[in-house]
Amino acid sequence: MSEARRIVVDTDTDTDDAHTLLYLAARPDAEIVAVTSVYGNCVDPDAVRNIGHVLRLLGLDVPIARGAAEPLAGPAHIAGHVHGSDGLGDLGYDRPMPAVSAESAAELLVRLAAEQPGELDLLALGPLTNLAAALRLDPDLFTRYRSVVLMGGSGPYAPPGTLLMIDANINNDPEAAGAVFAAPRRELVMVGVDVTGTTILDERAIAALRAAETPKARFATEILDAYLDFYQNEWGRRVIPLHDPLAAGILLDPGFATAWVDGPVNVRTDGFLSRARLMRTHDGLPPAFPYQAAPPTRVITQVDAPRFVADFVEMLTR
């Protein structure tokens, strides 16, 4: 087995973020070094409480730092209708506020990278506000992380007539996302909704989780109902995409990605929603408008969804 990846997780801890922490803790090639909170699918105080709740369930004692409660500009858009108002399905868990670092999330991200350059990976699962704040403290921050992998973006421009899920993590703070994609880096990997939306935890996989006796699997299925309620209105089935877990899987095993393109990413808006896009059309051509130059980002365009879903279920049920 290769050396374990030592990972700092930045998260707006909701259902699939909690699933991601469970998955990382179960993987023998991963070590969670620290966790930072950010608003997004719940308000920041709930994100912090949820981090503490999941880490206690896992028996992990790692630093937790509080991060942004709102975007760099404009109001926060909290998706309580997707994961429940508390982010974990409003099941009434006792979620005391955990002990948190005296440092902000941005300060912790900067310090850890400076102390251990090239040794840590940064996994961003929510709006990119904390990362942008950290870049203001250290513009070369991403060159000090072994890699930065984020769940967000929409890949290259899709073929005409194709519809995509909302690019929520980017849309929640387009200004922060723009700063992230413009920053110098060692390796930046974008795992967008165009690929995470194809990685489905279906009825059979959910049944396997429900049948397992592990505390991780029990908790993972307890918090599913609000999320399933939301996605049944999309697909008519009680299934969910594994958005954030897929980003973690690709960080640990790049072989889950079967195709990618390296190129510049810009954050674009249609006047209603913002997306992070690889500045290429679906057939590899440049877009029909001027765009900003940016360092290359590795944009995942296809994944081995069945293999990843099988690995996710195995990790939570073993």
CATH architecture classification, 5-317 = Alpha-Beta Complex (3.90)
CB 118 within 8 A of CB 146: yes
- pLDDT score, position 76: 84
CB 16 within 8 A of CB 223: no
CB 261 within 8 A of CB 302: no
CA nearest to 126, candidates 77, 163, 91, 53: 77
Please classify residue 90 by burial: count the beta carbons closer than 10 Å to its beta carbon, then call 0-12 exposed, 13-18 middle and 19+ buried. Answer: middle
- pLDDT score, position 266: 98
pLDDT by 10-residue block (mean), the chain, 318 residues: 86 96 97 97 96 97 98 87 90 95 98 98 98 98 98 96 92 98 98 97 96 92 92 94 98 98 97 96 95 97 98 95
Residues contacting 299, CB < 8 A, separation 6+: 153, 155, 156, 190, 192, 260, 261, 262, 263, 265, 278
- pLDDT score, position 2: 59
Catalytic residues: 243
* Sequence ranges of the domains in the chain: 5-317
Global confidence as pTM: 0.97
CB 259 within 8 A of CB 305: no
The Cα 110–Cα 117 span in angstroms is 10
Query: Residue 161: phi, psi to the nearest 5?
Result: 90, -5
What's the chain's length in residues? 318
